[in-house]
Amino acid sequence: GSINPCPSSTPGGAKQLLECSHTAEGHTKPVLDLDVRGDRMLTGSKDRTAKLWDLSAMAEIRSLEDHHNNVSKVRYWSAQRLALTVCSFYIKVWDERVPGPCVRTLLSTGLSQAEPPEVSMGLRQNVCPAGETNIMDLALPDSGNAMFLATANSVKVWDLRRFAAVGKLHGSHQAPVMVLACERANGGCQVVTGSKDHYMKVFWVSDGAMGLLTPTADLQPPHYDGIEALALNGSALYSASRDGGLKKWHLGPNCHQVACVNSAHKDWVQGLALSDDAQRLYSACRSGVLKVWDAVGDLTCIGELPTAHNGAAINSVHQCGGRVYTASNDHTVKFWREPMPGSGELATSAADSEGNLDSL
């Protein structure tokens, strides 16, 4: 894979909002998910591989292979320099410092093993072994040792110090949990589940909690279709759905809806990300449109890039260090410069002109 500078022009003429600075290429099929932590980017693709990238050197570090199906979700645990890649019913754990195969495999049932599961690496298999279910999403807080894993209509709580499942979040969802959001606060984690049943539920997981945990809040009114993306910042939650709508919520003793945009996009909204200062919300849809919203107020649209990936679907959006990253069906990940805080000018630096991202 390679990371290449982009021409200075931006599709849609929205230079004052976002400008594409680089494109990461190397996957041979759609890029389904990405995660950025510091100077590391992890991408997962329909080509059955994940790639780990060094954003300081602007180069691919290694390709993580031997998945029998799509790598649907990826997360990078920067504290331990571990890459987690989701494929169907299992997660492979890769140590950046150790070449060769993965160091651990975590199963949807809550089991952990040193050896990869025994599955054929030939034709794609969509049927899970007995007792296993597809993993829809995983969430890692910025600190701590907890991991949350969405399987079927509940969420398993893992202790990554022992690679062991220690609890379950069960909110009586009537359909699979599709997406998770979590954030550490006051000796625990606030976790939000978004389900295909149109509903979201809020959980509080204190450090060391084990066993069955029930929700502290059920967010009303629901979306009109399944939840596809969440973004969480303190008491502010943002949700997006297959119905094309966006919602802003206040979480606390009295959870309530703050704002709603019913036709934010004309297609499924598949990704949400907040700027570092939580002033802007980025949303992306299956039709390839990337939009920017006022996250502080009532979700007023600031602008949009209708052809961010030339019409190809955007599957994931991430923000880190003044950059927005979009993973697309066109097999690429694009890097977008954000405007400088408090101005309409684009963030630029000498590092950019040299073709690297040392400013991250």
**Please, what's the largest Cα pairwise distance for the chain?**
56
Q: How confident is the model at residue 27 (pLDDT cuts 50, 70, 90)?
A: very high
pLDDT of residue 121: 62
> Tell me, what's the pLDDT at 219?
97
Write the CB contacts of 40 (distance below 8 Å, at least 6 apart in sequence).
52, 53, 54, 55, 76, 78, 96
Confidence of residue 115 (pLDDT cuts 50, 70, 90): confident
- The 10s digit of each residue's pLDDT in 193-230 is 999 999 999 999 999 889 999 999 999 999 999 999 99
CB atoms inside a 10 Å sphere around CB 342: 8
pLDDT for the residue 15: 46
| Cα–Cα dist 176/135, whole Å | 10
Q: Which of 23-27, 35-39, 131-135, 339-343 has the lowest mean pLDDT?
A: 339-343
Torsion of CA 114, 74, 139, 154, to 10 degrees: -70
Answer with the residue of higher pLDDT: 35 or 143: 35
Q: Flag the least confident range among 119-133, 145-159, 224-238, 263-277.
A: 119-133
76-82 long-range Cβ contacts below 8 angstroms, 24+ apart: 76/35, 76/36, 76/37, 76/40, 76/41, 76/42, 76/52, 77/37, 77/140, 77/160, 78/37, 78/38, 78/40, 79/143, 80/160
Residue 296 has pLDDT above 70, yes or no: yes
The residue-averaged pLDDT of 123-136 equals: 84
Residue in the block written with tokens 């089991």 = 111
Tell me, what's the pLDDT at 129? 86
Alpha-carbon distance of 331 to 237, in angstroms, equals: 30
What is the pLDDT at residue 357?
Answer: 39
Strand, helix or coil for residue 171: coil
Tell me: pLDDT of 12 over 60: no
Residue 106 host element (H or E)? strand 104-107
Of 202-206, 267-271, 352-356, the range with the lowest mean pLDDT is 352-356
pLDDT bucket at 16, cuts 50 / 70 / 90: low
What's the average model confidence in pLDDT over 84-107?
A: 95
1 pLDDT above the threshold of 60 = yes
Mean pLDDT of 279-290: 96
Structure tokens at 60: 């691919």
pLDDT of residue 242: 97
pLDDT score, position 49: 97
Q: For residue 36, how far is the Cα from the chain centroid?
A: 9
Give residue 114's identity as a one-letter amino acid code. A
Q: Is the pLDDT of residue 181 over 90?
A: yes
Check whether 13 has a pLDDT greater than 80: no
pLDDT at res. 274: 96
| Alpha-carbon span 184 to 233, nearest angstrom | 10
User: Tell me, what's the pLDDT at 116?
Assistant: 76
Q: Is the peptide bond before 221 cis (omega within 30 degrees of 0)?
A: yes
Residue 337: is its pLDDT beyond 70?
yes
State how far the Cα of 59 lies from the Cα of 101, in Å rounded to an integer.
Answer: 21
CATH superfamily of 220-339: YVTN repeat-like/Quinoprotein amine dehydrogenase (2.130.10.10)
| Residue closest to 216 by CA, chosen among 186, 199, 191 | 191
